[in-house]
A and B are shown apart, each in its own frame.
Chain A
Amino acid sequence: MSTGNMNLTLKIWRQKNNKAKGNLVDYKVSEISPDMSFLEMFDVLNEDLISKGDEPIVFDHDCREGICGSCSMFINGRPHGPKEGITTCQLHMRSFKDGDTIVVEPWRAKAFPVIKDLTVDRTAFDRIIASGGFISVNTGNAQDANALPIPKVQADSAFEAAACIGCGACVATCKNASAMLFVSAKISQLAQLPQGQPERYRRVQSMVAQMDAEGFGNCTNTGACEAECPKGISLENIARMNRDFYSAKFVSEEDI
């Protein structure tokens, strides 16, 4: 099937379920084309495993164009692999050399327990959003969209924060497994928009509380999250979140 000429050794994390003990297992793949995506290389491996009667490797993936945030492989010690600004599904085999050994592990964090092989449970992120990552406006009767002009610079900055895909690479790469980049991106998006002001301080307090309750670590400003974020979410968002978090303590109770 494959048309290329790359031969690779893969060391892949296999774990039956969240109670079982996992380990790295060696696999060989051959005739890999440099035009294949990393996940297509996994497809080839899985086809091979199925044909041999073995169990294929389970990994999360869906859109395969870098926007759904499903894929989550820790490749050679880096989330989403060696290239900057992309997700695993956008990584192509031309980024590797014939004969390479590639180590693939799941995201590792207390708050992201392994479900099976390379798949982890990231529902903690949803619970953080449910705790306050929204503007409380019911459907219907919103005012005309242009009744509220928003300066372009502000709107663009909110958009940049909103570009987060919730993949969890920031948590996976952080030595503390901190979720601050993810949480601050949502807080920052809404805090920069006039629509987000009424709940601004309540939001930051409840989202941070939920983040802590989920077991994510603290931020020690190493900046690995920003460096590994496939969408280039900026550390500035964390500063903005911290500022709002402390400001909230000085805002009177009634305002929160």
Chain B
Amino acid sequence: MAEINANIPEGELTEKWTKLRSSMPLVNPANKRSIEIIVVGSGLAGASAAATLAEMGYKVKCFCFQDSPRRAHSIAAQGGINAAKNYQNDGDSTYRLFYDTIKGGDYRAREANVHRLAEVSANIIDQCVAQGVPLAREYGGLLDNRSFGGTQVQRTFYAAGQTGQQLLLGAYSALERQIGMGKVEMFTRHEMLEVVKVDGKARGIIARNLITGELERHSGHAVLLCSGGYGNVFYLSTNAMGSNVTAAWKAHKKGAFFGNPCYTQIHPTCIPVSGDHQSKLTLMSESLRNDGRIWVPKKKDDNRKATDIPEEERDYYLERRYPAFGNLVPRDVASRAAKERCDAGYGVGKSKLAVYLDFKANTERYGRIEANKHNIHNPDKETCMRLGRDVIKEKYGNLFDMYKQITGEDPYELPMRIYPAVHYTMGGLWVDYNLMTTVPGLYALGEANFSDHGANRLGASALMQGLADGYFVIPYTIGAYLSKELSTKPIPQDHPAFIEAEANAKGIIDKFFAIKGTKSVDYFHKKLGKIMWEKCGMARNVKGLTEAIAEIQQLRQDFWTDVRVPGVANEFNPELEKAGRVADFIELGELMCIDALNRNESCGGHFREEFQTEEGEALRDDENYAYVAAWEFKEGVKFELHKEELKFENIKVAQRSYK
């Protein structure tokens, strides 16, 4: 077990980034033209990085498995993006965003990274507006903001319930502009299957052309993994069907350490599971908690219709337990509280695994304001509800429509039924301050890295981090590495390392077809998901995790002897793609359980039942676990722990309180 170096610059917290940026070695324009950079993934992090690096003059190759870079899963982010602009004059500042993020992450994130994130957050909004991203505005023509969990200021910028879509289309258009100019070569429907290392440095990738099935060699001076998170290890999550860990996992197997794999975000407000056929879960944006109040009946097994339960028989448990933050506590806190009520027998709906998210009170409140605007004094309740409904519709119309479409119930009439679901993974490839993994020349950006959210991510911070990494961090930090690579000639693709990596990728594909088993890939994926959700989900304990590790090892064995992959390799074959992804998820699942078992404390999204306060809150152990667990892959699917100690020099570490 060795300490690892995060390469955090010396100096005052507030000056680290500025100083580093000004003293960073540069690559001159003529040299940039001969340096090639490979970007895997085209979401917020990948598209923004690829576009910006191409603007700077580098030769960029960008890869995505979707048919267009515009379809990366960032597109589905709903609620918003944080930035320390203080446009609302409510006391926001760079420091406050930094503080909220560290505290929200339950003191398990790296101070220097988070401060940098807060510093560049304002630039992101400026950049996106300049690109023509239509963020929501007030009548005066200025940008509007709303609140998200874990903060007491309004710093969230948004575009209805489609903020991710609008930001991604902004980054996508910047990327397409570079593609049109020939400065980025785009490879759609391509999946990365191997990282190629030459003399210890990342020098390229092996990618499979998903239409022809051909394995291709691509070389570069550096490789950026912007391949998103691994929530689909749980099978059911709010992630897109194609979201996967394969790129990150292949890098892990080539020497990149994996940081804090057990930190998973379970989002409190999702549409509950309706049956065995379910293929994915749908999020209802956190922004709804601005105006929705969460409750369950005070009586156990209360089967009355929600609207028939009188006010005094409702338990607004978040407002009761956390008066200061109320319904806007961070996600991990809200999710656990929902689970606690349901486990105690107060859940609602057929499955009893749901709580209510109710807009009635605020609909009426908005209606009263509207009535005043229309000079209607002493409006009756019906008028208030009618006018208020229009306000709610303008704010959340698309989410309400989505809910109705899926459940068949009208949320304007009945409260929504919601339950927590896997949404985001704070863990990911370990990176240093420069976003470089433990493999020189191999970087990880966005959700694919572990860096900024600690043990729990605050709402509207994922978009901020993805774009910060891509637009404002990597374009500078990569120069430090590339400036030493000027004499490196284009990497020959017939180098033995490429031949070996390609043979390895081919070997795995051949093995899949050779098994000729009896069970589909989804069969194994669902089994894995069930183990993970039950034993490494919202609550974890030694017994469950120990069992899970054994069960996953068995599942891995079964998978490699009994999976059935139809078709052939040299054609468009989505079942083959899924097989590769599930094989990697199985290995990752085991590591997540090992990590969760190693961390004998509760923090953020990692809740170990053995470690909780009397009130059921997460109980950290700062003395023994204030470190990043960075795991090294060893032959035979074994993992070795390395630690990066977390030093808090600017924030007083305390028990998180949202009361």
**Residues of chain A having any CB pair with chain B under 8 Å:** 1-3, 17, 33, 35-37, 39-40, 43-44, 47, 49-51, 53-56, 58, 60-70, 85-86, 90, 92, 94, 115-116, 119, 121-123, 125-126, 129-140, 142-146, 148-152, 155-156, 158-159, 162-163, 165-166, 189-190, 193, 195-196
Contacts and interface: CB of A to CB of B under 8 A. Distances in A.
Contacts of A149: 137, 140-142
B123 A133 contact: no
A33 B130 contact: no
5 nearest A-B residue pairs (beta carbon)? A149-B141, A130-B180, A134-B173, A142-B130, A159-B134
A148 B138 CA distance: 13
Nearest to B125: A145
B198 interface: no
Given A135-B173, A166-B68, A67 B76 contact: yes
Majority SS of interface residues in chain A? loop
Contacts, number: 227
B137 A55 contact: no
B45 to A, nearest CB: 13
Contacts of A65: 76, 280, 282-283, 402
A71 to B, nearest CB: 10
A214 to B, nearest CB: 14
A196 B130 CA distance: 9
Contacts of B165: 67, 163, 165
B51 interface: yes
A189 B169 CA distance: 12
Given A65-B280, A195-B129, 19 more contacts: A2-B277, A33-B277, A43-B279, A43-B522, A50-B566, A56-B575, A62-B66, A62-B241, A67-B75, A70-B67, A126-B68, A126-B69, A126-B179, A130-B176, A131-B180, A135-B132, A145-B126, A151-B137, A163-B165
Contacts of B128: 145
Given A17-B572, A44-B277, A195 B131 contact: yes
Contacts of B242: 62
B172 A129 contact: yes
Interface string B66-83: 111111010110000000
Given A33-B277, A39-B279, A139-B52, A148 B76 contact: no
7 contacts: A36-B277, A37-B406, A50-B566, A145-B85, A149-B137, A151-B139, A155-B141
Nearest to B470: A139
A195 B126 CA distance: 12
B279 to A, nearest CB: 5
B54 to A, nearest CB: 10
A67 B140 CA distance: 30
B572 A56 contact: no
Contacts of A54: 566
B194 to A, nearest CB: 23
A157 to B, nearest CB: 9
Q: Give the residue among A53, A67, A133 with the most B Cβ atoms within 10 A.
A: A67
B127 A142 contact: yes
A156 to B, nearest CB: 8
Contact of B520 (A36, A50, A85, A159): A50
Contact of A3 (B67, B162, B277, B571): B277
B497 interface: no
Contacts of A138: 52, 55
A33 B127 CA distance: 47
Nearest to A130: B180
A195 B143 contact: no
Interface in B251-284: 274-280, 282-283
B345 interface: no
A159 B70 contact: no
A115 B571 CA distance: 10
A94 B409 CA distance: 13
B174 interface: yes
B87 interface: yes
A115 B572 contact: yes
Given A61-B241, A67-B165, A90 B405 contact: yes
A123 B129 CA distance: 27
B229 to A, nearest CB: 14
Nearest to A31: B277
Given A146-B87, A152-B137, A115 B564 contact: no
A67 B162 contact: yes
B275 A36 contact: yes
